[in-house]
Amino acid sequence: MSVAVPSTPQSAVDRLRHAQHLRRQADAIELQAIADLAAEHGWTTTDELDVTNERAIRVGADGTALVGEFLPLEIAAIKAISVSAATWLVRDVLNLRDRHPVLWGSVLQGHVPPYRAFQLTQLAARYDLTQTQAHDLDQRLASKYGRIGWARLMRLARGLIAIIAANNVQAAAETARAGRYVRTAVTEQPVVSELWARLDTADAQQLETTIATLAKTLAKQGDTDELDVRRAKALGILATPGRAAALLQGRDNTRHLPRTKVYLHLSDTMLTGTDTQVVRGETLGPLVRDQLRDLFGTHRLTITPVIHEGTEPAVDSYEIPDRIRQSVLLRDVCEVFPHSSRAARRLDLDHTIPYTDGEKAQTRPDNLGPLTRTVHRAKTTGRWRLKQPKSGTFWWRSPSNQTYRVTNQATDDLHEWSTGERSVLWHLDAHPPPSG
């Protein structure tokens, strides 16, 4: 759908302003829609629903509305984001609407972008402000919204929070400690990954000192890389304490090289050398085989080649044999919910057609798929519906009648497809053409 914009010869500034207006208008529409969905899925008690076993949860801070726990699934599928991200979005919207009504109005009027508003609501929640205290903060800042720089407003907010909820400062520090974490993620170039961490300040300072010392030691030993590169190498060396100690003490550190096991998904022809040199690492994505040397050149590497699954015979038991489990995990690297990126190896395997005592051959690859516990419950006791017409192809229908097709390659949102188009696609999935 195209949007009419000014097109006069000197309208570049007008177009920019118009784009800004449309963006904020779209943001306001989205936030109001999420708030309306929350109202439609609203609860007044924490009692469980008898039919679907859906629990009432409070994703926001004090004073926010209760919602059904499956609400984020609907939003996640529509927006093509993770269920966690959808939950956080619902949290932020409800915090904004129910605890900061003046700021909520400023966002809907386009004066403050949502991501800025969420920064303030998250700050108030981190300091455990009650709804009354959050309203007080909102009123004190009302005249500043959209009128001063946001960094300045956030500094002002921190000062006001210290006045409004002085007793919460120490508690917030303990909460911050409880929120410590370390996370890693492979970048678009598999030879490097990114790491984020939140540590005790004392530990962070000590880590900084050790990294600096190791980087300097590498330079003394002839490493000519830039300082930032040597610091990155130093942090990697710390992953193997024995190697780090040997390096700092000037001893041979080669015997301390870390061991690494990598699963590579290969085809039969690739093993015989008649196919492409591109392989897929289970957690690394596509790789040129020669990249493995760059990736793990300083590691003692064990490579386990994986041939994509064939036909695994079904079993009658509810328990899943390891050979079938591995076959499914090699087929479905991620959760089979729409747009999910959760690693399958960390999840439960769900029977697509629920297991029934006494029936034969229910546990087989084409009746299994990895799901999180929440999605599993939404499908089993909620109003989400799932079919697996062929192995590794999953058709979902949401409570609002949205349809999605999920494979290990992509998620297809079928909402705008015609009934006939969906029927043809379903026929192809349910009756795949013969191979060969």
Measuring CA to CA, how many Å separate 238 from each of 41, 173, 214, 218, 261? Answer: 49, 28, 9, 13, 19
**How many other CB atoms sit within 10 Å of the CB of residue 187?**
10
Residue owning tokens 């959050």: 134
Please give the angle made by the CA atoms of 291, 193 and 92, to the nearest 5 degrees: 145
pTM beyond cutoff 0.85 = no
Q: Strand 259-266 relative to strand 300-307: parallel, antiparallel, unpaired?
A: parallel
Q: What gap in Å lies between CA 80 and CA 338, rounded to an integer?
A: 7
Classify strands 56-57 and 66-68 as parallel, antiparallel or unpaired.
antiparallel
How far is it, in rounded angstroms, from Cα 155 to Cα 136? 16
In 3D space, the residue among 346, 407, 400, 350 whose CA is nearest the CA of residue 376 turns out to be 350
User: Do the beta carbons of residue 117 and residue 107 sit within 8 Å?
Assistant: yes
Own/partner long-range contacts of 405-413 (Cβ < 8 Å, ≥24 apart): 405/429, 406/336, 406/337, 406/338, 408/331, 408/332, 408/333, 408/334, 411/80, 411/338, 411/339, 413/77, 413/78, 413/80, 413/338
* Segments making up each domain of the chain, as ranges: 12-172, 182-256, 259-307, 322-430
Per-residue pLDDT of the chain (436 residues; tens, 9 = 90+): 344 555 555 678 888 888 888 999 999 999 999 999 999 887 777 655 555 678 888 999 999 999 999 999 999 999 999 999 999 999 999 999 999 999 999 999 999 999 999 999 999 999 999 999 999 999 999 999 988 889 899 999 999 998 998 887 777 777 778 889 999 887 777 778 899 999 888 888 888 988 998 899 888 888 999 999 999 999 988 888 887 888 877 776 555 555 555 555 555 444 455 445 545 555 555 555 555 555 555 555 555 555 545 457 788 888 998 889 988 988 888 999 999 988 888 898 999 999 988 889 889 999 999 999 999 999 988 889 999 999 999 999 999 999 999 998 889 999 889 999 999 999 999 876 654 3
- DSSP secondary structure letter of residue 297: T
